[in-house]
Structure 1
Amino acid sequence: MTTATLTVPRAARGRHRTARSGYAGATTGTARSAWLFIAPFGIFYLAFLLGPTIYMLVMSFFNTSTVRTGLGSFAGFANYAEMLTRADFWSSLWHTLQFTLYTTPPLVILAFVFAVLTNRMRRFQWFYRLAFFLPYILPSATISLIWVFIFTPTTGLWAWVESLFGMTPGSGVLSDPNTAMIGIAIATLWWTIGFNYVLYLAGLQEIPRELYEAAAVDGATPWQQIRYITIPMISKTTTLVVLLQIIASLKIFDQVYLMTAGGPGISTQVTLGVITNTAFTDNRLGAASAASVLLFIVIVVVAIIRQLFERAAAQKES
């Protein structure tokens, strides 16, 4: 039995090596171009986000202060122990969670409802997109001043609404410890609903129109179309919106600082407010860094719990 031997011409082998080396060179050039495009953001990320985060973690183990240079003396876990035993830290954490409970459900549900209504309209969609998203681009100082004016006792718009319904105007929404956080939540709802609205609207426009047309031919009502087509098809967008909203609500600071400064008393004092006061009023950067790390842990835990509920619900449906 003879075995045939395949002989590749020398010229063909040369062309193969040339092509392979050319491909490797092109790959190297593409990788170099990619790194050049990534470099500006990478440098910014390392210098202004990752670097300060690592330094904050290091400071949480030292008695760092704003009145002296350097890290200061080593404190170990003393800063963490102090923050975990401070009553104002726990009360601020509760107020932060309270604000999250006030804002997350309406900011998700109302954004979805308004997006569905806008998506079903044939005319003037651009107007509704503009109307919902325009407040979101305004700075927090502007929003806070608008709503402080609205909630001003006796002369504000809210007092006029109360008198319109025959109610006696009170001391003001932001002046009452029982309603101050609700007032901040209402202002936040008006301010930030446009972001979730745009996310939902983008997700709705990815659903094929043929599905709704086929369902309408089969006799499905608009509510049935929303229940059996829209909600399942947009579930990933809902997951994203809920997660982003929870994280954003747990990081509340601007509105509280500008509208109530944590008052009346400490009824609206949130965790970032305690961190700011500890760092720049008490000049204790180490303790403030420890509180920041604890808040980060709370955010991660809440996000994980939310993901576990999402997975459990998905498994039950399947």
Structure 2
Amino acid sequence: MTTTTLTVPRSGRSRFAAHPRAVRDTRSAWLFIAPFGIFYLAFLLGPTIYMFVMSFFNTSTVRTGLGSFAGFANYAEMLTRADFWSSLWHTLQFTIYTTPPLVIIAFVFAVLTNRMRHAQWFYRLAFFLPFILPSATISLIWVFIFTPSTGLWALVQEGLGMTPGAGVLSSPNTAMIGIAIATLWWTLGFNYVLYLAGLQEIPRELYEAAAVDGATPWQQIWSITIPMLRRTTTLVLLLQIIASLKIFDQVYLMTGGGPGISTQVSLQLITGTAFTDNRVGAASAASVLLFIVIIVIAVIRQIADRAAARKEF
């Protein structure tokens, strides 16, 4: 005699019993998101859209409203202005000067720190401490260092038997290099902490197995560390490129765009056009063009990273 077990299907009520709870959870989630969402719309997305709209009008700070419709005249003007292309080149020049050192040096110091068994907290503090200082403080420190005759750099030159010149920030050939050095010292700690966090996520067993197989420390770094930190490197590169393309504070405080306009960057041109020349529409067009450059560089970097990832597989 056999016994048959019957499976009773669930009722429709039991299937949808959790629905009210899911609705409550969704409402709670939206309530938590709402403060940031309002802030994002009011102070980030909204002004960006308004800036794009203003770029098609003769908007000015001396009168209300958008002004008369200009079409693409503001864009045509900016694309034919020599100082726009000069400032864009200075921005790219600063990005070239700062991005590779800030990525490579941060990686090297992070690897060295990660191999230390004691006092890692001290190195984290030492590298990250300058990053929390405001840009005005950093600019004053490095203006003092680069001061001709009395600055620290002049004293180093005298100690090496060199004749101090007019100053690093006083020459069009070296002013941007001086700003890049100050930025390197200031922001290195951020990339350093990101790399150190990524290194601590790599399993130690991989290095132990490689050491048993006879791999040297350099071979371990090349075959394990660098591939495992590929995502971290992509993040660091993108953040650093975007931050460098938005350079303004150091240039404005250390050189004011000089000597002449040899260090004038895009954001300085934009602010000068908007608030000195009172031409917000033209400044908005320059902002949109800079935004497009940033997006294009970020997309190219992402495509290159994906291509490299496909090669690995």
Q: Give TM-score scaled by structure 1 length.
A: 0.94
Residue 217 of structure 1 and its aligned partner are, at CA, apart by 1.5
Q: Please point out which of 154, 169, 173 is paired with 2:168.
A: 173
In structure 2, relative to structure 1, the CA distance for the partners of 1:7 and 1:55 (3 Å cut) is same
Q: 1:143 aligns to what?
A: 138
Tell me the secondary structure at the aligned position of residue 283 of structure 1.
Answer: coil
Rounded to whole Å, the distance in 2 between the matches of 1:19 and 1:185 is 65
The answer to whether residue 26 in structure 2 is matched with residue 31 in structure 1 is yes
Q: Please point out which of 10, 14, 19 is paired with 2:14.
A: 19
The answer to whether residue 287 in structure 2 is matched with residue 296 in structure 1 is no
Residue 201 of structure 1 and its aligned partner are, at CA, apart by 0.6
Q: Which amino acid aligns with 1:139?
A: P
The answer to whether residue 252 in structure 2 is matched with residue 229 in structure 1 is no
Q: Please point out which of 85, 88, 99 is paired with 2:83.
A: 88
Q: Which amino acid aligns with 1:23?
A: A
The unaligned stretches of length 5 or more in structure 1 are 1-5
Q: Give TM-score scaled by structure 2 length.
A: 0.96
Q: Which amino acid aligns with 1:24?
A: H
Q: 1:108 aligns to what?
A: 103
Q: Which amino acid aligns with 2:24?
A: G
Residue 311 of structure 1 and its aligned partner are, at CA, apart by 3.0
Q: 1:3 aligns to what?
A: none
Residue 7 of structure 1 and its aligned partner are, at CA, apart by 9.6
Q: 1:240 aligns to what?
A: 235
Residue 306 of structure 1 and its aligned partner are, at CA, apart by 2.1
1:121-132 correspondence runs (5 A)? 121-132=116-127
Residue 125 of structure 1 and its aligned partner are, at CA, apart by 0.2
Q: Which amino acid aligns with 1:30?
A: D
Tell me the secondary structure at the aligned position of residue 16 of structure 2.
Answer: helix
Q: 1:253 aligns to what?
A: 248
The unaligned stretches of length 5 or more in structure 2 are 1-5
Residue 102 of structure 1 and its aligned partner are, at CA, apart by 0.2
Rounded to whole Å, the distance in 2 between the matches of 1:315 and 1:20 is 44
Q: Please point out which of 151, 158, 163 is paired with 1:163.
A: 158
Q: Please point out which of 46, 50, 67 is paired with 2:45.
A: 50
The answer to whether residue 252 in structure 2 is matched with residue 283 in structure 1 is no
Q: Give the count of matched residue pairs.
A: 308
Residue 216 of structure 1 and its aligned partner are, at CA, apart by 1.2
Q: Please point out which of 176, 179, 187 is paired with 1:184.
A: 179
In structure 2, relative to structure 1, the CA distance for the partners of 1:165 and 1:33 (3 Å cut) is same
Displaced runs of 4+ in structure 1, greater than 4 A?
none
Q: Which amino acid aligns with 2:71?
A: G
Q: Which amino acid aligns with 1:287?
A: A
Q: 1:202 aligns to what?
A: 197
Residue 18 of structure 1 and its aligned partner are, at CA, apart by 3.7
Q: 1:308 aligns to what?
A: 303
Rounded to whole Å, the distance in 2 between the matches of 1:307 and 1:151 is 38
Q: Residues 74-115 of structure 1, C-alpha deviation per residue, up to 9 Å, x if partnerless?
A: 000000000000000000000001001000000000000010
Q: Residues 159-179 of structure 1, C-alpha deviation per residue, up to 9 Å, x if partnerless?
A: 011111110011110001000
Residue 148 of structure 1 and its aligned partner are, at CA, apart by 0.5
